[in-house]
């Protein structure tokens, strides 16, 4: 029998001798005294920002809710390719009125630009400043989800054969769409800088306000309310594929907003910080003005069951809800829930599948009944 090495016989005396252990050149290793810096850390030492704990050590958790968000986000997994768009192509070309096509295209144009912006803000400004790994892990997922949303809009745009040069440039050439994006860029520009020092109290307050704008207004109000014109079409049996895509996106956005609000609440307590009411008032007023101009453009002609007035009224109602969730004053006291069906869209489950679309349970792709 020859002495060839056999993978299934590790104890064979015929196995070749083990190679010698390489010699360690200790000149290139840190001296033992510097290793004292690697003492175990305590979870209690973690902080939302400005923490000194080890960013590469996931657990024990100080913010177990952040890990729960990560697990929950992973149960809402889909890709846009799984949702049929054939009927939408027919609807778009043969059933939608000119006013309805105008609404649909501009909502898509606004949302796709917004999602790129969201991805960059989370990835470049927010995630990098979070100093507990369980917060960063969820935000890494969020970055991916924003990219997935961008893919989803692109899939809709491609499926419908829309002019990409025209659609993707729309936010640049339509002032009412540009206004919202420019406002967001203005609000987020400074905090996106890597050298934005959060040890400075004024900067910390600005960061909290900017994050409030992003999570509460941009995601929690503008996005939440932004899908609504397409859901109004869906309720009439139109553009159901695109609407279902938006329902999946909306579920991600609900989590993004809830996570952001939780972070803000904890940040304010941890840093003994109060959001300046006058600064908040200005944010809400600017956001409402931008949203009103946007609604006036996309709905310059009302469509059946939906108009600019309803859009703005619903924005105010959702804004109040978000403010209560953060624990600050309602910006628009007395605003009414003029579109009660919107919340159903965010929480749609199998048994409430009254839009006659595919099953869109809040579960992982493997558990979804894609027939």
Query: Which C-beta is closer to Fe ion: that of 146 or that of 176?
Result: 146
d(C-alpha 173, C-alpha 181), whole Å: 12
Show contacts of 201-206: CB within 8 Å, 24+ apart.
Answer: 204/49, 204/271, 204/273, 205/273, 205/275, 205/276
Applying CB under 5 A, the span of 154-162, 194-202, 256-264, 349-357 interacting with Fe ion comes to 256-264
Count of residues that bind Fe ion according to CB under 5 A: 7
Kindly report the number of other CB atoms within 10 A of residue 164's CB atom: 11
Residue 149 binds Fe ion (CB under 5 A): yes
Burial state string for 21-42 with b = 16 or more CB within 10 A and e = fewer than 16: eeeeeeeeeeeeeeeeeeeeee
Smallest distance from Fe ion to CB 366, Å: 23
Smallest distance from Fe ion to CB 93, Å: 27
Applying CB under 5 A, the span of 149-157, 306-314, 334-342, 349-357 interacting with Fe ion comes to 149-157
Query: Which C-beta is closer to Fe ion: that of 133 or that of 226?
Result: 226
Query: Which C-beta is closer to Fe ion: that of 47 or that of 248?
Result: 248
Please say whether the beta carbons of 311 and 299 come within 8 A.
yes
Residues 89-128 that bind Fe ion (CB under 5 A): 115, 118
Q: Is the sign of the CA dihedral 290, 292, 295, 296 positive or negative?
A: negative
Burial state string for 213-227 with b = 16 or more CB within 10 A and e = fewer than 16: bbbbbbbbbbbbbbb
Residues 291-350 that bind Fe ion (CB under 5 A): none
Please say whether the beta carbons of 297 and 106 come within 8 A.
yes
Bridge-partner residues for 73, per DSSP?
A: none
Kindly report the number of other CB atoms within 10 A of residue 326's CB atom: 19
**Both tokens of residue 371?**
């027939």
Residues 23-62 that bind Fe ion (CB under 5 A): none
Smallest distance from Fe ion to CB 115, Å: 4
Smallest distance from Fe ion to CB 112, Å: 10
Query: Which C-beta is closer to Fe ion: that of 91 or that of 138?
Result: 138
What contacts 124, CB < 8 A, 6 or more positions away?
Answer: 192
Residues 190-219 that bind Fe ion (CB under 5 A): 219
Query: Which C-beta is closer to Fe ion: that of 118 or that of 268?
Result: 118
Residue 256 binds Fe ion (CB under 5 A): yes
Smallest distance from Fe ion to CB 260, Å: 9
Smallest distance from Fe ion to CB 326, Å: 17
Instruction: Name which position in 100, 146, 266, 288 contacts Fe ion (CB under 5 A).
Output: 146
Cis peptide before 60 (omega within 30 of 0): yes
Residue 271 binds Fe ion (CB under 5 A): no
Smallest distance from Fe ion to CB 145, Å: 6
Smallest distance from Fe ion to CB 222, Å: 10
Query: Which C-beta is closer to Fe ion: that of 143 or that of 313?
Result: 143
Please say whether the beta carbons of 72 and 128 come within 8 A.
no
Kindly report the number of other CB atoms within 10 A of residue 180's CB atom: 22
Applying CB under 5 A, the span of 84-92, 179-187, 227-235, 249-257 interacting with Fe ion comes to 249-257
Which class for 166: exposed (0-12), middle (13-18), buried (19 or more C-beta within 10 A)? exposed
Applying CB under 5 A, the span of 26-34, 188-196, 247-255, 317-325 interacting with Fe ion comes to 247-255
Smallest distance from Fe ion to CB 252, Å: 6
- What is the SS3 string spanning 64-94? HHHHHHHHHHCCCCCCHHHCCCHHHHHHHHH
Query: Which C-beta is closer to Fe ion: that of 153 or that of 238?
Result: 153
Applying CB under 5 A, the span of 129-137, 175-183, 248-256, 267-275 interacting with Fe ion comes to 248-256
Contact residues toward Fe ion (CB under 5 A) are: 115, 118, 146, 149, 219, 253, 256
């Amino acid at each position: 029998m020859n002495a060839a090495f056999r993978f299934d016989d590790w104890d064979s005396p015929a196995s070749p001798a083990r190679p010698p252990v390489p010699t360690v050149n200790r000149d290139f290793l840190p001296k033992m005294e510097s290793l004292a810096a690697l003492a175990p850390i305590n979870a209690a030492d973690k902080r939302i920002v400005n923490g000194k704990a080890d960013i590469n050590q996931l657990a024990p958790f100080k913010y177990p809710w952040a890990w729960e968000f990560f697990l929950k986000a992973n149960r809402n997994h889909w890709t846009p390719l799984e949702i049929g768009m054939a009927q939408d192509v027919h609807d778009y070309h043969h059933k939608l009125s000119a006013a309805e096509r105008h609404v649909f295209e501009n909502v898509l144009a606004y949302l796709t630009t917004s999602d790129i912006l969201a991805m960059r803000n989370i990835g470049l400004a927010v995630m990098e400043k979070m100093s507990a790994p369980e917060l960063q892990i969820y935000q890494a997922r969020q970055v991916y989800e924003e990219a997935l949303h961008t893919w989803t809009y692109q899939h809709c745009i491609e499926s419908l054969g829309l002019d990409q040069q025209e659609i993707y440039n729309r936010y640049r050439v339509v002032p009412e769409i540009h206004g919202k994006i420019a406002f967001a860029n203005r609000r987020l520009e400074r905090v996106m800088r890597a050298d934005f020092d959060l040890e400075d109290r004024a900067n910390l307050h600005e960061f909290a306000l900017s994050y409030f704008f992003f999570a509460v207004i941009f995601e929690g109000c503008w996005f939440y309310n932004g899908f609504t014109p397409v859901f109004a079409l869906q309720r009439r049996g139109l553009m159901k594929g695109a609407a279902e895509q938006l329902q999946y996106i909306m579920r991600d956005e609900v989590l993004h907003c809830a996570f952001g609000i939780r972070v803000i609440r904890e940040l304010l307590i941890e840093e003994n910080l109060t959001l300046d009411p006058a600064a908040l008032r200005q944010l809400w007023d600017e956001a409402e003005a931008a949203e009103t101009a946007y609604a006036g453009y996309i709905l310059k002609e009302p469509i059946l069951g939906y108009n600019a007035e309803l859009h703005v009224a619903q924005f105010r109602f959702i804004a109040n809800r978000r403010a209560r969730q953060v624990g600050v004053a309602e910006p628009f006291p007395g605003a009414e829930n003029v579109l009660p069906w919107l919340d159903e869209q965010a929480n749609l489950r199998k048994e409430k599948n009254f839009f006659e679309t595919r099953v869109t349970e809040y579960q992982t792709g493997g558990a979804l009944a894609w027939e």
